[in-house]
Structures are given as C-alpha cells and as structure tokens.
Structure 1
Amino acid sequence: MAIVIPEHKIQEVLERVDLVGLISRHVELKKAGREWKGRCPFHQEKTPSFYVVPEKRFYFCHGCRASGDAVSFVQRYLGKTFLDAVRDLARELGIDLEAQQDPGMRERQQLKEATDLAAEHFRALLWHQDEGRAARAYIANRGVSEETAQAFGLGWAPAAWSLLAERFQKSGMLEWGMKAGLVLKRNSGDGCFDFFRSRVMVPIRAPEGRPIAFGGRLMGADEGPKYLNSRESRLYNKSDTLFGMDLARDEVRKRKAAVLVEGYFDCIGLHQVGVRHAVALCSTNLTPGHMQVLKRGEARELVLLLDGDSAGLAAIERLAGPLLAAGATARVALLPQGDDPDTFARREGAEGVEKLLEEAHPLTTHLFATLLPQGKSASFEEKMAALERLKPVAAQVPVGLVRSTLFAALSDHFGWRPADVEAALRSKVPPKPAASAAHAPHSPARPPDEKPPPPMEALYVASVLRDPHLLSRDIFRVCDELSHMGLRMALAHATSGHGSQDALFEASEGIKRAIETSWRQLPNDAQELEQAFSAICREIMVRRIDERLTYIKRATEQTPGAFDLTEETRQLLAERVELLALKKRVLEELRPSGAGTKAPLQPV
C-alpha cells in the first residue's frame, strides 16, 4: 500500500540531514569558503566543479548541470525513487514516517484501494460476463450507449451474496472492504456478504476522476430501495461531492455554467445527448461544499433542471436558501409535468434541452411566481402563506447586500414595505450548520500554513501530468530544482505508477488549484506542449542561476581590489564565470524552435 508522506515531514528530513556528510560518503569534498567543492560524481571531470552549499541545503555542478537537495542526490546517485529516497533518509535520521502519518490517511489509502478494486470488479461483471447481459440490456433501454456507459464506469452487482467479499478475501483486503461499507459481516456465522446486489452500479467519482463511492440502481423484482448509496467515509463525503463533475468540468469551465439535476441517470442522460455540463447531487441538500466544487470548476451560473412535478418544485424551494446564501447566480428551467431530465433529453435531444435552458428564469423570479402568482393583488392570507414558505429560505441568507436586495424584491412583488416583509420573515428556524464543519472528522488534516506553489513550478508539474513522457525531455533535471514539496510529492505520485488522477486526488486544495490553473494555460497540441515545457524548464533554470549570481554579486561587491581577494571571494568569482557559462548553455540548448514559436508561458 502506498504511503502518503506529509509535506512537513519531508521538510523536516531536508532540514535535519547533514548534506555535506551525506555527499562526502561518495565524493571527496574540500572546504572552499562557506561551501564545499569536489569532482562531480555524475560525470567524469579533472577540474572540480561540483559544489555543496550547506547554508542553503543544495548542491550543483557547473559541468553537467546536476543540482538539487539531499533527496534528489540520493535519487540520482543511488537510483532511488523520490519516496524511497525520503524513506531512506528518514530512517537514518530516526524520523518514523509511519508513526508520524495521520492514521486517518492510512485508512483513506485503504479505502481508495478497496474502492478501486470494487469499481473494476463491477465493471468486469457488466461487460465480460454472461450474467451482465440483462444489465447491459437495461442500460441500453435507458438510451445509454456503450461509450457513455464506459465513460461513466457503469458496472453490475449480481444477485449472488458474496462475490465481492470473496474477491476482497483473496486480495487480503476484506477488512478494507468492510471499512468502505462494500461488504458487511454476517449476523450469524463467519464470513461477509456484499452490500450491493442485483443492482446496476454507478461509480461516484471525485472531480479528479477517482472512484470514491457507488450508487446502485435496483434491477428486476428484487425487494429493496430503488437506489442504494455507499455510506460516507474518510474518502467520500456526499456534501462535498457532485456526481459527474469529473466528466463535466471541461464543459463547465468552457461555458462558465453548470446544469444541476437530482439523479445519476438524469446526469448520464444529459451527457448522452451532448449536454456535458450537467452534474447531479449525491444528497438532497445543496451545501457550501458543493458550491466550492462549482467555484473551483469556474461555474459562474447554475441552472436547476428538476422534475416537473410537485417534488421537483419543492426541491427548488429547498435549494434556494443555500444558493441565495452563497450569492450564486441561479436560474430555473421547468420541465413539462411528469417529465424528468433523462426522459426529456431522450425525447427532445440536445436541441430541446438547450432551448429549455435558454428559457430558464432567474431563481427569485421563479420563487415569487410560484409562491405568490397573483403578486400585489393576492389576499393577505395568501401573502402570509407565501412568506411562511419563504421563512426557511430567508433564514439561510446572512445579513448583508444579498439579504437586503432579496427583501427589496419581495416587497416589490408583495406590495409591502421592506421593513414589513423583513418583520414577517423573522424566522425561528435555526440555520443548518455548514456541511464542512459537520463532516470535518472525515477530512484528513492538512498543514494550515502551506505556502502557495511557485507558478512556474506548477506549470512544470502540470505539463508532466498532462504528458509523463516530457520527463525524458528534462535534460537539465528541473525536477530536482522544484522547491515546493507539495509539487514534488504530486510529481512523484504521478510518475510512480499511480497516474495524474490519483496525484491530484491526494494533493492539497492549494496544489490542486495551482496545477489546474496551470493545466488550462498549456497548449493541447503535443508539439506545442513540448515547446512550452522546454520554455518552462529554461525559465526555472535561468531563475535559479540568476538567484545565485545575485548572491555572488552581493558577497563580492565590497572587494577593495584584485590583490586583496580572499580565497572565498576567488571561489565565488570563479563560480560566477561558471554560472554565466551554464546560463549560456541553458539558453542555447533550450532555445525555442521554429520561426512561429509562441512566447514562453507566463503564469497567471
């Protein structure tokens, strides 16, 4: 099982390691002022050009351009991976990474592996087994193509009692499957049984694409609820998850809008006809956590597309409070009576859905028209009944501009003074606690003082996550020059077989935002991406060299004359000559190719 090492523990390793002592085991070093110098272990040379700077905890070679910190030295010299290098150094220093790791993070990793196994298990049973034939027919009858079903990762849980439990048992993961709620202990006797049976399985995935839970749609005449969902865990919090966001986020970002529905197959049906900015709630309530997911996805507007029955209309009232409280721009698209988004999309196609979305009314306009159609001409009793229904909505809107604007609009619709409307709406209904606070125990702790990643380093990591083959084009090993440990962890995670989705899933919110922002700046064309990556590498290397040149300039600018140079000053001036030569090589070897090459990317 992979171990997620906290960033602050890696920083502790780098601060406590004796860099000179570590490198001296493999390189003969001699004191040169405040630095140490020797022949580079990474290439053959007669004149020493390899420096160790203990004050700044890094090494560099002017001959072959090797540079980095203690971790990168172990990686390069001993052929270790990033994580193995950190573990080896921590072991020598007596830092127990296992003991320091949050137990919740270990459980989270177990849940990830159990959920991955279950997703693969359900998917295989749907597509590669004879008993999945009926489930495939059901999916096809709902108008879902095989391509769409594959994209959403649909699967099948047969009626058999313990297929998944047996799979977990063989893999040594039965306890993890129980923690995830995917298998349950039998009430009598030994063994476990599967939680999901006779159900079409819908993986619920994080925005990064990793499965974190499941929804199961009952098929056939078996007894039980129509839909059965995974329980919440350290991996899955329904108040922070929007179904389909992993497939919708590019279209959401493009349109700056999202379509919100209530059912998994409503979302799948909209994607099937081409409305690919649709997402669905995994719970009945819209929470601040959902609004954060939409904000990260750059959705500036939300269109509610709910069933055209009384339950759908009630849902709009239920969702209005959180939307108004967040100050969100929201509109309501009304479906014909008796329709749900899935059936409407199948019947009318993308054109019909888009027309419905275009005609959507602002949320407050819909609320007022629904609760008090007669407006000012309504009776006193009708107005009071409408205000009673609005109390739970108003109770969630904090004091401020949004609340005062809401009361002003209500007073205009009701024909009352704003003060009278506010007095009538004073509610004793306590506002619901924020979902993020209510579910805090499920979230792994993050260091509160995480520094933001340097934008150019984030561009480097985003490029490699986009195309891992670019690492072979990093001739100056800029990967060893990355200063932000969170970015280095994400890079190590992605290039050690886990993939970019898992790397992003495990990253902190700050790292995710930085990488996603950088990802959007990168060109889609493979050749242009390679050119952009070369420019990023050049920029990072030149900045590192310039930082060192600035230091040398400050350290030597007080030199009185050529005959008064100290040995340390001579070394610094010699280093300056080597750095300038290195900078020239960097600029030449990473020169943009092609007359029409665009200017280097600039972080935003």
Structure 2
Amino acid sequence: MIPEHKIEEILDRVDIVSLISRHVELKKSGREFKGRCPFHQEKTPSFYVVPEKRFYFCHGCRASGDAVSFVQRYLGKTFVDAVKDLAREVGVDIEAAQDPGARERQQLKEVTDLAAEHFKALLWQDEGRAARAYLANRGVSEETAQAFGLGWTPSGWSVLADKLTRAGMVDWGVKAGLVQRRPNAEGYYDFFRSRLMVPIRAPEGRPIGFGGRLVGAEEGPKYLNSKESQLYNKSETLYGMDQARDEVRKRKAAVLVEGYFDCIGLHQVGVRHAVALCSTALTPGHLQLLRRAEARDLILLLDGDQAGLNAVERLAGPLFAAGAAARVALLPQGDDPDTFARREGSDGVERLLQGARPLTSHIFASVLPQGAQASFEEKMAALERLKPMAAQLPMGLVRSAFLNAVGSHFGLPAGDLEGALRPKPATKPVPKPGAPAQAAPGAQRPPAARPAPVRPPDALEAMYVAATLREPRLMARDSFRTGDELSHTGLRVVLAHATSGQGVEDALFEAAEPVKRAIEVALRQLPEAGAALEQTFLTVCRKLMLRRIDEQLGYIEKATKQAPGAYDLTEETRRLLTERIELLALKKRVLDELKPAPTGTKAPVQPV
C-alpha cells in the first residue's frame, strides 16, 4: 500500500500544467490554462487546468481530477501505476517511504493464508480423523467447522515446514511462528503438531494467527497459540469478531467468553454475537474494537465456578476504567458456555443473557454480600479485593462515581475511600553510577514524531467505494468515471487495490482506521446486492455528479461576476455563460432522475 501522505506529496510536487501540456496545447487564461479537451472531440476549448488547486476540468464532457487522475484517464494506467510513474518523475522514493515492515507484513499474510488452507485441507483428509471425531464429540457440525475455517496438523515433525521450504516461504514461516529452526541440525520443524487448528481472523476475515488444541497426544500444553507479529496483536483481537460483527451491530451488544470453542458453540446454536479473548486479559484495544462494532452492551458469560467468579473480577478493572456498560451472566456450576448451549439451545442461552445483572451489582454482591450490615473485618477484606480494580481507574468522573457506588454499598463515606483504595506509590529506582542524568524538571523534550492524522472521508464517496467493493461489476455502470475523481486519497487507494486483484479483505485490512470506519458504515447502509444495490450506486454517482456541476457553476459565476455589459461581452465570457445554461439544464435532468418514482411505478434508469 502506498502511504496516503506520500501521494499528497507527489501531487504537491507535480507541475500539473507541465504534465498536461505534453498532451494538450494549453494557453494561459487569467490564473488558469485552457485548451481543447483530450477526452472528447471539440472545436472550442472548454478544458481548464487550475494549477492553484492542482486539478483540471472540462465543461464539455465533465471530466475532472488531479494529476494522477489525468495519467490514469489519458494513458490508461491503473491508479498504482500512475502514482509510481509520477513519483519517479518528481523524485519521491515510494519504496523508502513505505512502512519499513510493509514487505514483512505482506510475507506474513501470504504464509498465514497458505497455512490456514493447509490446515483446513488436512482436517477433511484421512489424517484428520481424530480431529473430526473430537469435533463430533463436542457437537461441532461440519458446517460450523467450515465456517470457522477449522483445520488439523498431524503429528509429523515437518509437514508444514517441508511445504513452506518447497514454496520458498520457510523464513516467512519462522517469522510467523509457524515453524522453527532445529537447534542441533539443519532444517525446520512444525510449531503446531497433533493439534486441532483454530484460525484467528481479523474482523475483515483474514487469518492472522492460530490457536491449536492438542488432540490424541499426551505431550505438550492443551492449548498452544501463535506468537504475536505485525499481523497479530492479541491485545487488539477478539476471536470470532469476523463472524459476529454483523450481529453485534444489529443487537448493539456482544457476549464475551474466554474460550475459542465456547464462542464456536454459541454461534452454532444461533447466539451469533459471541466473541472470545485470545488467551489474554481484557484491554482497551478490545473495548475499542467493540465500540467500532457499535456494541453498547457487553455481557460477560462465564463459568459459575470459582474460576469464573475470579475471571469477572479480573475483567472488571478495564471495564470500570472505560466506563463501559457491562453485565454478568453466570452459568450453572459445572457448565461452560459450550456445554450449556448444547444442552439448553438458543432459547436457554437467551434467557440466561436476559437475566444478566450489572457488573457493579455483581462485584459488590460477590465481595461483600451483606453490604453495609457486614462486619468491619469483612469490609476491610472486601476493600482489598477492590483495590486492583480501583487502581485501574483514572482520576475524574469515572473514579468518583465508582467510589460513591462503593460507599453506598459498604455504608462508608465515599471521601474516605480514596485513600483506602489507592495503591501504594511505586518507589523510584536509584540511578546506577555512570548512568546518564535525567532531564531537569520543566526541561523541554523534543516531541515524538507523529504521523499526520488521516482525515475522515466524505460519506458519499465512501458509499461509492463500499458499493464497488461489494459488487465490483458496478464500476462499469459509472458513466461519469466518478472513481477517478474521488477527493479522498485513502478511498482511491482502497478502490485501486481492491479492483486490482488483491481482494476486498486485503484492501480493508491495510486501510487507515478513519477510512475503514467510513467504508464499514457505508456497507451497513447499502442494500445487500442485486437491483437495489445497483440503483443505490447509480444514485450515489448522480449525487457526486451534482457536486461536480455545482463546482463548475461556482467557477463560472466567479469568472463572469465582473463581466461588462451585454453588448461588450468577450468571447470567453459568452462561452462561459453558454456553458452555464448547459450545466443548469444538465443539473435539472440529474435532479429529475433523483426524484422518487410515483407509487406503483418503476422509475426508468436514464443515462446521464
């Protein structure tokens, strides 16, 4: 992916007048340059280049865009090739400008994809009999196993390693933690062996890591997980989010469990908004991921034994600190979410979730069941249990509200609880002799370099890109070539990569967060497919066309504002006023097509 800020730098450096002058004879006209449009036949020049704003436009055929768009349209280049050509011309080193880890990340993606397909294929071959029997015993259907991409890795020491060696990808497999070098001999061996493989996927659906459950062997831990990498950060990943995100958005709620198979079991019975932690504590990254999926309510579904109760207390701190709306649903003693779901079905799970109580009520009832009537000793012991949670709360409204709630339940003054629940101050380390001195208090430190924030895309442009991601064939219906003229560089990058054979998942995986969020919002607003999606796409194209017409009308108004009397109009002004009449007629036509069809009739789709 070419960094968006580098594309902007290229556009800043390109002399758009000089670039277009190679193919079009331009003459200076005030602050602009004009000539005959290279995109349609015309006798009177109506093609303008505006160097101050870095774009061109034609009043005749309505073509417009920047330097990249011109190279795309005139020379028939792809977006990426056009950017690369211009980068070489103006001396911008795109390779050096890219993320230093971009190549490694691409290698990790390719080797992880290969491994996921390798494991999945083995599950349904003779080697996967033991794993299939294990899944059948746990009640996991073949359909569910396929949906979650489950796989198998046999007991052989180098089945995957040999395959990666033949493919020239074994070094990538080492970086991904899939294979390891033999310590006392040449060659490599598989990290996962005799394991039912559970691919961990990004919300976009791409595999980024694996969990492996030991089956039919006695040596090794029950679960083994991928190491973290540039693809996989377990503190920002929730298992099952790729399957759950649509249901999470629909319900505005998520069910959080602790195990992969708990999540799988809930999905199989129809509780499709369940997600699981990836063998880690709950983090702000997980909560941010849930917020992006529009989960306003988080239900903790945990075992009813002591381990489950301890897990609630462990999860409470980050939830309290974030001010998150969370509830707790405890299972019967001896049950886990998977077994309960199989026995009670979807209705039983839903009843349990409906009876979940607020996290604060659960915590206070657990640490001090008798409340204000408890003894002094019981209250002090309960406060000790609350200290780890309180330690995670920042000073401010959230902390004050928590202390007031504790005071109300314990029957203690909230003002006195601040000191009682404050953790002991950490002792400052004594500097070693010869260690560099720290900066004096108040001394200014050079600010850390931060990348420029990516501006959020326009919602209508995001809708255009989302529609073409859902059905790429729609681009052929865009008679205005709106995709060449999107104003947001990030959207153009996503569109270019998704339509160049790299796929939608890859394009979204690499997109900046504001771009990704805008496209996800647009996808939720679009019809699923078919005629309704196509009609919406055409409507978006027309609305973007109206914007372009209004921009050109604004230009004409500004250019003719100081025009002399009607008998003294210059040829240029007369031409602009004529084009204004044509633009207004075109605008009326487009507006008429945007009007809803009368009830009971189907509006014909007219070409614009």
Q: Normalising to structure 2: TM-score of the pair?
A: 0.90
Do 2:255 and 2:299's aligned partners in 1 also have CA atoms closer than 8 Å? Answer: yes
Rounded Cα–Cα distance in structure 1 between residues aligned with 2:196 and 2:113: 17
Corresponding position: 1:254 with 2:250: yes
- Identify which range, 567-576 or 133-142, moves more after superposition: 567-576
Rounded Cα–Cα distance in structure 1 between residues aligned with 2:97 and 2:152: 40
Do 1:82 and 1:492's aligned partners in 2 also have CA atoms closer than 8 Å? Answer: yes
Q: Label 1:109 to 1:171 Cα distance change in 2 as closer, same or farther (>3 A).
A: same
Give 1:17's aligned residue: 14
3-state SS in 2 of match to 1:235: coil
Compute the displacement of 1:593 (Å).
6.1
Give 1:480's aligned residue: 484
Give 1:77's aligned residue: 74
Do 2:194 and 2:217's aligned partners in 1 also have CA atoms closer than 8 Å? Answer: no
Rounded Cα–Cα distance in structure 2 between residues aligned with 1:291 and 1:52: 48
- Give the residue type in structure 2 aligned to 1:246: D
Rounded Cα–Cα distance in structure 2 between residues aligned with 1:324 and 1:163: 46
Could you tell me which of 90, 101, 105 is aligned with 1:104? 101
Do 2:122 and 2:128's aligned partners in 1 also have CA atoms closer than 8 Å? Answer: yes
Rounded Cα–Cα distance in structure 2 between residues aligned with 1:73 and 1:585: 27
Could you tell me which of 389, 402, 415 is aligned with 1:419? 415
Give 1:543's aligned residue: 547
Rounded Cα–Cα distance in structure 1 between residues aligned with 2:228 and 2:174: 13
Give 1:209's aligned residue: 205
Give 2:523's aligned residue: 519
Corresponding position: 1:464 with 2:468: yes
Rounded Cα–Cα distance in structure 2 between residues aligned with 1:333 and 1:320: 14
3-state SS in 2 of match to 1:103: coil
Give 1:168's aligned residue: 164
Q: Label 1:588 to 1:51 Cα distance change in 2 as closer, same or farther (>3 A).
A: farther
Could you tell me which of 501, 506, 512 is aligned with 1:497? 501
3-state SS in 2 of match to 1:365: helix
Could you tell me which of 446, 451, 454 is aligned with 2:455? 451
Give 1:185's aligned residue: 181
Compute the displacement of 1:586 (Å).
4.5
Give 2:323's aligned residue: 327
- Identify which range, 406-415 or 206-215, moves more after superposition: 406-415
Compute the displacement of 1:182 (Å).
1.3
Give 1:379's aligned residue: 375
Q: Deviations along 1:435-488, whole A, 9 cap, x unmatched? A: xxxxxxxxxx98333222111111111111222121111110000120000111
After superposition, residues 278-289 of structure 1 pair within 5 angstroms as: 278-289=274-285
Give 2:64's aligned residue: 67
3-state SS in 1 of match to 2:162: helix
- Identify which range, 484-493 or 173-182, moves more after superposition: 173-182
Rounded Cα–Cα distance in structure 2 between residues aligned with 1:541 and 1:499: 27
Rounded Cα–Cα distance in structure 1 between residues aligned with 2:314 and 2:394: 16
Rounded Cα–Cα distance in structure 2 between residues aligned with 1:324 and 1:260: 16
Give 2:441's aligned residue: none
Compute the displacement of 1:539 (Å).
0.9
- Give the residue type in structure 2 aligned to 1:126: L
- Give the residue type in structure 2 aligned to 1:465: L
Rounded Cα–Cα distance in structure 2 between residues aligned with 1:446 and 1:479: 30
Corresponding position: 1:399 with 2:395: yes
Q: Label 1:554 to 1:27 Cα distance change in 2 as closer, same or farther (>3 A).
A: closer
Q: Label 1:393 to 1:530 Cα distance change in 2 as closer, same or farther (>3 A).
A: same
After superposition, residues 567-578 of structure 1 pair within 5 angstroms as: 569-570=573-574, 572-578=576-582
Rounded Cα–Cα distance in structure 2 between residues aligned with 1:16 and 1:590: 39
- Give the residue type in structure 1 aligned to 2:307: A
Could you tell me which of 544, 561, 581 is aligned with 1:557? 561
- Give the residue type in structure 2 aligned to 1:494: A
Compute the displacement of 1:39 (Å).
3.6
Gaps of 5+ in 1: 431-444, 600-604
After superposition, residues 427-442 of structure 1 pair within 5 angstroms as: 427-428=423-424
Could you tell me which of 138, 142, 145 is aligned with 2:141? 145
Compute the displacement of 1:406 (Å).
2.2
Q: Normalising to structure 1: TM-score of the pair?
A: 0.91
Rounded Cα–Cα distance in structure 2 between residues aligned with 1:226 and 1:216: 8
Rounded Cα–Cα distance in structure 2 between residues aligned with 1:159 and 1:287: 35
Q: Label 1:516 to 1:594 Cα distance change in 2 as closer, same or farther (>3 A).
A: farther
Compute the displacement of 1:46 (Å).
4.3
Q: Deviations along 1:47-102, whole A, 9 cap, x unmatched? A: 44433333322233344433322212222222221111111111122211101112
Do 2:471 and 2:529's aligned partners in 1 also have CA atoms closer than 8 Å? Answer: no
Corresponding position: 1:273 with 2:266: no
- Give the residue type in structure 1 aligned to 2:140: V
Rounded Cα–Cα distance in structure 1 between residues aligned with 2:49 and 2:275: 53
Rounded Cα–Cα distance in structure 2 between residues aligned with 1:507 and 1:223: 42
Q: Deviations along 1:145-190, whole A, 9 cap, x unmatched? A: 1111111111111112222222222332222221111111111222
- Sequence identity of aligned pairs in percent? 75
Gaps of 5+ in 2: 427-448, 604-608
Give 2:111's aligned residue: 114
Do 1:531 and 1:592's aligned partners in 2 also have CA atoms closer than 8 Å? Answer: no
Rounded Cα–Cα distance in structure 2 between residues aligned with 1:446 and 1:423: 37
- Give the residue type in structure 2 aligned to 1:493: H
Corresponding position: 1:305 with 2:330: no
After superposition, residues 329-348 of structure 1 pair within 5 angstroms as: 329-348=325-344
- Identify which range, 12-21 or 414-423, moves more after superposition: 414-423
- Identify which range, 271-280 or 491-500, moves more after superposition: 491-500
Rounded Cα–Cα distance in structure 1 between residues aligned with 2:116 and 2:351: 36
Compute the displacement of 1:134 (Å).
2.1
Aligned CA-pair RMSD: 2.3
Compute the displacement of 1:574 (Å).
4.8
Do 1:552 and 1:572's aligned partners in 2 also have CA atoms closer than 8 Å? Answer: yes
Give 1:244's aligned residue: 240
Rounded Cα–Cα distance in structure 2 between residues aligned with 1:464 and 1:62: 27
- Give the residue type in structure 2 aligned to 1:76: R
- Give the residue type in structure 2 aligned to 1:348: E
Rounded Cα–Cα distance in structure 2 between residues aligned with 1:504 and 1:212: 14
Give 1:220's aligned residue: 216
Do 1:446 and 1:508's aligned partners in 2 also have CA atoms closer than 8 Å? Answer: no
Compute the displacement of 1:420 (Å).
3.5
Rounded Cα–Cα distance in structure 2 between residues aligned with 1:223 and 1:162: 17
3-state SS in 2 of match to 1:215: strand
Give 1:436's aligned residue: none
Give 1:36's aligned residue: 33
3-state SS in 1 of match to 2:457: coil
Rounded Cα–Cα distance in structure 1 between residues aligned with 2:602 and 2:404: 52
Do 1:32 and 1:568's aligned partners in 2 also have CA atoms closer than 8 Å? Answer: no
Rounded Cα–Cα distance in structure 2 between residues aligned with 1:327 and 1:103: 37
Rounded Cα–Cα distance in structure 1 between residues aligned with 2:91 and 2:286: 42
3-state SS in 2 of match to 1:37: strand
Q: Deviations along 1:392-447, whole A, 9 cap, x unmatched? A: 011112223332222222223222222343332222277xxxxxxxxxxxxxx983
Rounded Cα–Cα distance in structure 1 between residues aligned with 2:221 and 2:248: 32
Do 1:59 and 1:69's aligned partners in 2 also have CA atoms closer than 8 Å? Answer: yes
Do 1:239 and 1:283's aligned partners in 2 also have CA atoms closer than 8 Å? Answer: no
Rounded Cα–Cα distance in structure 1 between residues aligned with 2:586 and 2:21: 24
3-state SS in 1 of match to 2:5: helix
Matched residue count: 581
Rounded Cα–Cα distance in structure 1 between residues aligned with 2:588 and 2:378: 80
- Give the residue type in structure 1 aligned to 2:32: E
- Identify which range, 70-79 or 418-427, moves more after superposition: 418-427
Rounded Cα–Cα distance in structure 2 between residues aligned with 1:24 and 1:191: 59
